[in-house]
Amino acid sequence: FLLKTHMQPERVLYVSSQNASTIFPVFANRLEYSKQEEKIVITLHNLQKNDSDMYVCAGVVKNSPLLSVNGSGTMMLIKEVEQTDCSNSSWGIYTLIIMVVLLFSALICCTLYRVN
């Protein structure tokens, strides 16, 4: 099992010894995993703020309803990032460059006119 344990305890992924898997609804379409021998690599996509939690791997103890937790887990803290629209700011830079070039050209023209 991959479990969320603190903020909102719930199951995330179950992989059986026969490679049958269940991805629970909280990460449907947002989780990929691969299994090679005794190693499972889990990738979570499109993380959201409410995905912040402590994640632990746990195994089922044979002939028992208990879970055996491996290690101390991994704390994931997801913070929202403000997305900026870069297209508007780039027009400002282009406009500024064009104005500088035009003013520089006007300065050169005025200087050449006075020299003659």
- Provide the pLDDT for residue 19: 76
Is 44 in contact with 13 (CB distance < 8 Å)? no
What is the token pair recorded at 6?
Answer: 């603190």
Low-confidence residues in the chain, pLDDT < 70: 82-89, 116
Residue keyed to tokens 């006075």: 114
Instruction: Determine the Cα–Cα distance for residues 30 and 28; give it in Å rounded to an integer.
Output: 5
- Provide the pLDDT for residue 78: 86
Q: Taking the model in full, what pTM does it have? A: 0.60
- Provide the pLDDT for residue 86: 57
- Provide the pLDDT for residue 15: 84
- Provide the pLDDT for residue 84: 62
Q: DSSP for 59-105?
A: EEPTTSS-EEEEEEEEEE---------HHHHHHHHHHHHHHHHHHHH
Q: Is the dihedral of CA 46, 43, 20, 8 positive or negative?
A: negative
- Provide the pLDDT for residue 87: 58
